[in-house]
Amino acid sequence: MNNTLQLVWLIPFLPLVGFLINGLGRKQLSKALAGLIGSGVILASFLISVFVFFQVKSGNTKVVTFFKFINTDSLHINFAFQIDQLSSLFLLIITGVGFLIHVYSTSYMHDEEPKDFAKYFAYLNLFVFSMLLLVMGANYIIMFIGWEGVGLCSYLLIGFWFTNNDYTDAAKKAFIMNRIGDLGFLLAVFWLLTKIGTVNYADVFSAVNIAKLTPADITGITLLLFVGATGKSAQIPLYTWLPDAMAGPTPVSALIHAATMVTAGIYMITRSNILFTMAPFTQSVITIIGLATAVLAATIALKQNDIKKVLAYSTVSQLGYMFVGLGVGAYTGAVFHVMTHAFFKALLFLGAGSVIHAMGGEQDMRNMGGLKKYMNITHITFLLGCLAIAGMPPFAGFFSKDEILGAAFAKNPIYWIVGVLTAFMTAFYMFRLYAMTFLGKFRGTYDQEHHLHESPAAITFPLITLAILAVVGGWINIPGVFMNGGDKLEQFLSPIFAGSYAIVAKRELAPTTDYTLMAVSVLGALGALIFAINKFSKYEKTTVEETGFGKVLENKWYVDELYDAIIVKPLKKLSTFLNNVVEKSGIDGFVNGVGKSVNYGSRQIRLLQSGQVGNYVLLMVIGILILFIIQLFF
């Protein structure tokens, strides 16, 4: 009990307290107080997380058990937290970026009524609480509690402005598509329970228990877990909810739909890395799905005009990268990219929010342009974010992307080619966005132009902080080829992946190959971004509609329409058929029919009792005759 890590319960508990205060006191609290409480609890959690991180760094890891959640003859599940290198890193990202976004929200959401303002912070705190449970849990059940909890908060926050039917549609879609993935997750957990009877990480990943699993079991379990990941982390085929989720307030998009929740799938696979390393088939599936998602989403992003939609598809694409990293066994690379992506994508979303705020709610980039001279801080920080995501050295995205691409090359050069082409597209659409928004001349209305202004400090402070992180965040894992004593993150996380690396050794590229690959990807991306700036800095509004392939991309490959046609509509038809035909006419008709035929039969038999003695005598005689005949012959 002397272990200082015993305190970790405070990390999720504080946001929970914030949720309760803001939720129950939403009518009493002033906006200032609600914002202060909402952000304050996250700051406190962040400070404790920093402390925990240094404890872990000095080698103090621990599973902290609080109480027995389920304890029966057949199932033992503790409410326990696992504090180790992986979870402590995620704690820092969640509470750190989370805190900045809470601060940002105090300004961004200022036009709301006080009680809605408090409600917003309550939901946001509840989200952080759930997300922390997800990464801190010491078994799959606690992870699943957080897993569905973040889904709930995502639902509540996407539908925050619940009067608008489109928004609540988007919220509903997000929850349901996540649930499809959740079913996969659950089935994997049932499979584990059936085979080895436990879901604690420490037990599941022990050699004794893994030996109980056949290769088919491991492949099945990992595939199902990956299905769960495709839901939460928006991969093919379950990615379509994420772009729609942009209906929520922009800080929510930054926190939930870019920096944290959508990386839950990557966390889960990283946590279970030993199982995945033992299932090469699943790894190939993950790599291919990840690559396909990365390319597909990048192509869609090329043609979107809504500033948030571009960022949303970019998120889907970057998540695809992370899965490629997981698929080729570059677990550190995937986690590294989660971290750098959290910095620069949160920055980009918050920057976009700042722009939308200044534009009075306008999200269409065709009506923007030339914002550079009105909002200096937003402009500079946004540019840094774009450079980071485009993979320009020495910004954060360069290092993490390089790590994944390098590992992909080592596995199969084709993976690398697809990945690097996606990187070029990324550079292109990000600088298209940048140029259309900040360069050229203003294309909005006169009113909008007058209203343009730099955002207040509560917005610029998170932007500046995140911009710094987007620049230097990659330096913690500078590759060994650049610097002696690099790969710091790799070393820090190595205990988590020890089991995997024992099975499949990490492949190292020759330094010359490594340099060549980097040069190709950097030069290509540079070319793409210069091309984009040239093309779009003088963008003029046109009324010409997209045709041909461009139209297909603008309409997102018609995937939503496809799902509607092959799943939603047939299901509705089937249900209507079951309701109207099978239920009403079939089963109930049969039941009622039995009743009616009994009624009918009774009415017919009743006719026999006519009350006329002659009839009765006749029937008696017939009866006697029948009995007589039976006696005679049998």
Partner 1 sequence: MNPANIWITFPELLIWFPLLAGMITLFIKNDKSVKAWSLIATIITLIISIGSICYSADKYFYINNVSYYWLQYLGASFSVGLDGMGRILTLLTAVSFPIIFTATYKNEYKNSNLYYALMLLTQAGLMGVFVATDALVFYFFWELALIPVYFLCSRWGGEKRIQATFKFFIYTFLGSLLMLIGIICVYQHTASTDYCKHSFGVQAFYAAHLSHTQQSCLFWLFFIAFAIKMPVFPFHTWQPDAYEQSPTSTTMVLSGIMVKMGLFGVLRWLIPVFPLASIKFGSIVMFLSVAGMIYASCIAMVQDDLKRLAAYSSIAHIGLMCAAIFSMTQIGIEGVMIQMFNHGINIIALWIVIDLLEKQTGVRKISQLGGVAHKAPVLTILLVVIAFANIALPLTNAFVGEFMMFSGVFKFSAWYAAVAGLSIILAAVYTLNMIQKVFYGQVNTLTSTIKEISWNEKLILSVVVILIIALGVFPQPMFDITKDTVAAIVTRFK
Residues at the interface with partner 1 (CB under 8 A): 67-75, 141, 144-145, 147-149, 152, 155, 159, 162-163, 165, 168-169, 171-172, 175-176, 179-180, 182-183, 186-187, 190-191, 193-194, 571-572, 574-576, 578-579, 582-583, 587-588, 591-592, 595
Burial class (CB in 10 A: 0-12, 13-18, 19+), 224: buried
Element (H, E) at 372: none
**For the residues of 25-67, what is the DSSP string, one character each?**
TTTT--HHHHHHHHHHHHHHHHHHHHHHHHHHHTT--EEEEEE
SS3 457: helix
Q: How far is the CB of 296 from partner 1 (least distance, A)?
A: 24
Q: How far is the CB of 270 from partner 1 (least distance, A)?
A: 22
Q: How far is the CB of 93 from partner 1 (least distance, A)?
A: 23
- Choice between 11 and 227, CB closer to partner 1: 227
Q: How far is residue 378 from each of residues 353, 372, 474, 533, measured CA to CA in Å?
A: 10, 8, 22, 18
Which of 319, 180, 313 is CA-nearest to residue 263? 319
**How far is C-alpha 564 from the geometric centre of its chain's CA atoms?**
21
- Choice between 147 and 536, CB closer to partner 1: 147
- Choice between 46 and 185, CB closer to partner 1: 185
SS3 83: strand
Q: How far is the CB of 265 from partner 1 (least distance, A)?
A: 17
Q: How far is the CB of 109 from partner 1 (least distance, A)?
A: 18
Q: Which residues, listed in sequence order, are joined to residue 388 by a DSSP beta bridge?
A: none
| CB 517, CB 405: distance < 8 Å | yes
Q: How far is the CB of 591 from partner 1 (least distance, A)?
A: 5
CA–CA dist 181, 135 (Å, integer): 18
- Choice between 160 and 409, CB closer to partner 1: 160
Question: What length does the chain have?
Answer: 634
Q: How far is residue 34 from each of residues 38, 114, 159, 288, measured CA to CA in Å?
A: 6, 8, 20, 45
- Choice between 90 and 167, CB closer to partner 1: 167
- Choice between 165 and 609, CB closer to partner 1: 165
CA–CA dist 455, 458 (Å, integer): 8
Q: How far is the CB of 582 from partner 1 (least distance, A)?
A: 8
- Choice between 249 and 397, CB closer to partner 1: 249
CA–CA dist 487, 356 (Å, integer): 39
Q: How far is the CB of 74 from partner 1 (least distance, A)?
A: 4
- Choice between 568 and 618, CB closer to partner 1: 568
- Choice between 58 and 165, CB closer to partner 1: 165
Q: How far is the CB of 183 from partner 1 (least distance, A)?
A: 5
| CB 74, CB 136: distance < 8 Å | no
Taken in order 159, 311, 565, 174, is the CA torsion positive or negative?
negative
